[in-house]
Chains A and B, each alone.
Chain A
């Protein structure tokens, strides 16, 4: 026990004096968590609170073009900026650059007349189908498409949601016109405004309710998503210090002396596991504390810790142990520090990608969906999400802890076999 204690002290002292290593393990992940959460919060706000600037060049002299603009405004997603003198793609592109807008729409000059003609035609057909006399003599030409210009940096998901919004505004205008024509054909007087509003605007509301295992209804936000995810990444980031430390010890003169002493190097490996497990727990504590106390002061949502603290502790402990086991395993395989650091850094980014830290696992297809299962980060993330987002308890994360535990044991076993094969223990 004394040997182990002295070895842990030695590892802590060396770690404490390695300022670069400490920065890599604490400062970098903290910066990462703050930056990613801030960016994602901005993205959420861009979609949900901030409005996307949308240039509209209305060349239509009629009322329907103006009605369309009013409906686009009602969606609440856009900040409509009317522009004049824009004729085609080139002038719209110039205007978008000038006004720093990502989107632009040109309403063609005959928009009102064509929508109106089409509505009357549809109303006539409807009258005929009701068995009434309807005017179907007026031929309606095809409506010219409404062109939406967009900056290529706009992500596809956002672009699709923009197109959906504009389509719904267009649909409203066309439906309103058709309704008015139909009403006029039947009653030979205009549709009363109150009735029009009731028919077109009194939509069924949509309630959004997050479902959770404990019945609480806290709305998830960028903090709840990102803090647990990037805490896992930070824990695995210990590879940059620990993997290098194992290699440094192996190739240094001190290792030659260690091999001549009456103590097995297993104690050295065990000490590193305990020391760095402490580091990963500290990382998690620091990052969670930041989420709770610092985030509200920098305009981010505060982190809400799960109610089951024991489950949170166990998941963090096993996640940290897995990260430490992985780092030691890479360290014993590598012959140089460059190998350990290079492979370590790239491999944890790959594990993070396939583990769902960067792209959600549910959005993955085929092979990558299955590959996620071999990434320990996937199981850590699922366990954290169950606790942080779904309000789960210990029993709900057992299915995530077991695979994580198995991966950790496999890593320990591989480490032991490599040490044996290299005659280091």
Chain B
């Protein structure tokens, strides 16, 4: 796959609406994420974070505009751009009846890897993420934290250039969160661009360099955390978040 641009992600002027639902829509939305960046996408429930990630990963198709990953248009029929990124959804996205090894073998093959690479990457990832001892046990018997690690391992088996993470640490203990964040930082050091969404703002402060705050389908703030805190005279990301999005409940139906 040819990487023709320095920008990891280039969202240009996209418009989108869900058929039959006028509550969530994007209009002329732009976003640029540099290669190797640790980028956080935040916002209240229903702000449009998951929709934007779904558009960037090709799960949804924009009504107009372009989304490019390293200069390659998303959503083309040949699926080649899909080799560039990995996706770690919030829901457990694997087969609970299979073991970590079996899941990695299957998703590795579907990611375009050969047998030997799958085998090597499986051993490497199970070791890094502390799943070596349970490599052949069915995932359905695992704790929530172990399942999160399996979810992450599958997303990175093919060493993607960009990794989309939707709440990767939700519902896990401190140890697992620490291990996951450390591994993500390691991946980033090796050149992987991270696009991360979460409601864990303190965690995000430690992980992200650049952030975008979304509300009502729009990006209302974009830049480095330090710059945004200074601009809005806030001392934490949480205060900045409440300051920009308000304190009202959000009902995302």
Report which A residues bind B (CB closer than 8 A). 2-3, 6-7, 9-10, 13-14, 17-18, 252-254, 256-264, 267
**Chain B residues touching A, range:** 20 to 34
Complex CA distance for A7 and B114, rounded to whole angstroms: 14
20 residue pairs bridging A and B, Cβ less than 8 Å apart: A2-B109, A2-B114, A2-B115, A7-B106, A10-B98, A13-B102, A14-B97, A17-B138, A253-B92, A253-B94, A254-B93, A257-B89, A257-B94, A257-B107, A257-B154, A258-B110, A259-B59, A260-B87, A262-B111, A267-B110
User: Would A10 and B79 count as touching, CB distance under 8 A?
Assistant: no
In B77-101, the 8 Å CB interface with A consists of 79-80, 82-83, 85, 87, 89, 91-95, 97-98
Chain B residue with minimal CB distance to A7?
B106
Question: Are B110 and A13 in touch, CB under 8 angstroms?
Answer: no
Are A263's CB and B91's CB within 8 A?
A: no
Q: Quick check: A262 and B83 within 8 Å, CB to CB?
A: yes
Checking A10, A13, A253, A264 against B93 with a beta-carbon cut-off of 8 angstroms, the contacting residue is A253
Which residues of chain A have C-beta atoms less than 8 A from B110's C-beta? 3, 6-7, 258, 261-263, 267
Residues on the A chain within 8 Å of B115, using CB: 2
Give Cα A264 to B82, complex, Å.
11
Q: Which residues does chain A contribute within 8 Å of B59, judged by CB atoms?
A: 256, 259-260
Complex CA distance for A10 and B106, rounded to whole angstroms: 7
- 9 new A-B pairs (CB below 8 Å) besides A3-B109, A253-B91? A7-B106, A13-B98, A13-B102, A258-B110, A259-B59, A260-B59, A262-B79, A263-B110, A263-B111
Q: Contact at A10–B82, with CB atoms within 8 Å?
A: no
> Which of A13, A256, A264 is close to B79, meaning CB atoms less than 8 Å apart?
A264
Query: Which residues of chain B have C-beta atoms less than 8 A from A17's C-beta?
Result: 97, 138
Cα–Cα distance between A2 and B102 once the two chains are bound (Å)? 14
- Pick from A3, A18, A260: contact of B57, CB under 8 Å: A260
Asked if B98 and A260 make an inter-chain contact with CB atoms under 8 angstroms apart, the answer reads: no
Chain B residue with minimal CB distance to A14?
A: B97
Contacts A258-B110, A260-B59 given; indicate if A10 touches B154 (C-beta within 8 A).
no
Is A253 within 8 A of B112, CB to CB? Answer: no
Contact A261 B97 (CB under 8 A): no
Residue B36 at the chain A interface, CB threshold 8 Å: no
> At the interface, yes or no: B58 with Cβ under 8 Å from chain A?
yes
Docked pose: A260 CA to B162 CA in angstroms: 13
Contact (Cβ within 8 A) B112 A6 = no
Q: B95, A14: Cβ atoms under 8 Å?
A: yes
Q: Which residue of A lies closest to B111 (CB)?
A: A261
Residues of B within 8 A of A10 (CB): 95, 98, 102, 105-106
Asked if A256 meets B107 with Cβ closer than 8 Å, knowing A10-B98, A13-B102, the reply is: no
Is chain A's binding surface mostly helix, strand, loop or mixed? helix
CB pair B112 A263 closer than 8 Å: yes
B109: contacting residue among A7, A252, A256, A264, CB under 8 A: A7
Closest 4 CB pairs of A and B: A253-B91, A253-B93, A257-B93, A262-B82
A264 to chain B: which residues have CB within 8 Å?
79
Option from A14, A256, A262 in Cβ contact (under 8 Å) with B89: A256
0/1 string, B42-56, CB within 8 A of A gives 1:
000000000000000
In the bound assembly, the distance between CA atoms of A10 and B108 in angstroms comes to: 12
**Once the chains are docked, how many angstroms separate the CA of A264 from the CA of B138?**
26
How far apart are the CA atoms of A200 and B85 in the complex, in Å? 95
Determine the chain B residues whose CB is within 8 A of the CB of A267 once the complex forms. Answer: 110
B-chain residues with CB within 8 Å of residue A263 when the two chains form the complex: 79, 109-112
Q: Give CA–CA (A267, B79) in the complex, Å.
A: 14
Given contacts A10-B106, A256-B59, contact A262 B112 (CB under 8 A): yes
Report Cα–Cα, A9/B114, bound state, in Å: 15
The reply to whether A254 and B97 contact each other, CB–CB distance below 8 Å, is no
Contact call B87/A257, Cβ cutoff below 8 A: yes
**Complex: A258 Cα to B110 Cα, angstroms:** 8
A9 to B102 alpha-carbon distance, docked (Å): 9
Q: By the criterion CB–CB under 8 Å, are A260 and B107 in contact?
A: no
- Enumerate chain B residues within 8 angstroms of A258, measured Cβ to Cβ: 110
Closest Cβ–Cβ distance, residue B205 to chain A (whole Å): 28
Give Cα A262–Cα B107 distance, bound, in whole angstroms. Answer: 10
**How near does chain A come to B185, taking the closest CB pair, in angstroms?**
23
CB closest chain-A residue, reference B164:
A260
Find chain B residues with CB under 8 A from A3 CB: 109-110
Bound CA span A6–B98, Å: 13
A13 touches B97 (CB 8 A): yes
Q: Assess the B105–A6 pair: CB atoms within 8 A.
A: yes
Bound complex: CA of A252 vs CA of B94, how far in Å?
Answer: 8
Residue of chain B at shortest CB distance from A16? B97
Given contacts A2-B109, A13-B102, A264-B79, whether A256 and B93 have CB atoms under 8 Å apart is yes
B220 → A minimal CB distance (Å): 27
Given contacts A6-B106, A7-B106, contact A261 B95 (CB under 8 A): no
Q: Determine whether the beta carbon of A6 is less than 8 Å from that of B138.
A: no
CA distance A18 to B79 in the complex (A): 32
> What is the CB-to-nearest-CB distance from B111 to chain A, in angstroms, rounded to a whole number?
6
* B62, chain A: closest CB distance, angstroms: 14
- Measured CB to CB, the closest approach of chain B to A365, in angstroms, equals 47
Chain A residue, CB-CB nearest to B95: A254
A14 to B95, CA, bound (A): 8
A253 to B94, CA, bound (A): 7
Contacts of B98 in A (CB 8 A): 10, 13-14
CA distance A296 to B80 in the complex (A): 60
Tell me the minimal C-beta distance from A388 to chain B in angstroms: 38
Q: Which residues of B have CB within 8 Å of A257? A: 87, 89, 93-94, 107, 154-155
Task: Tell me which residues across on chain B come within 8 A of A14, comparing CB atoms.
Answer: 95, 97-98
Output the least CB separation between B192 and chain A (Å): 16
Determine which of B80, B91, B102, B106 lies in contact with A256 in the assembled complex, contact meaning CB atoms within 8 Å. B91
Residues in B with CB closer than 8 Å to A261 are 79, 82, 107, 110-111
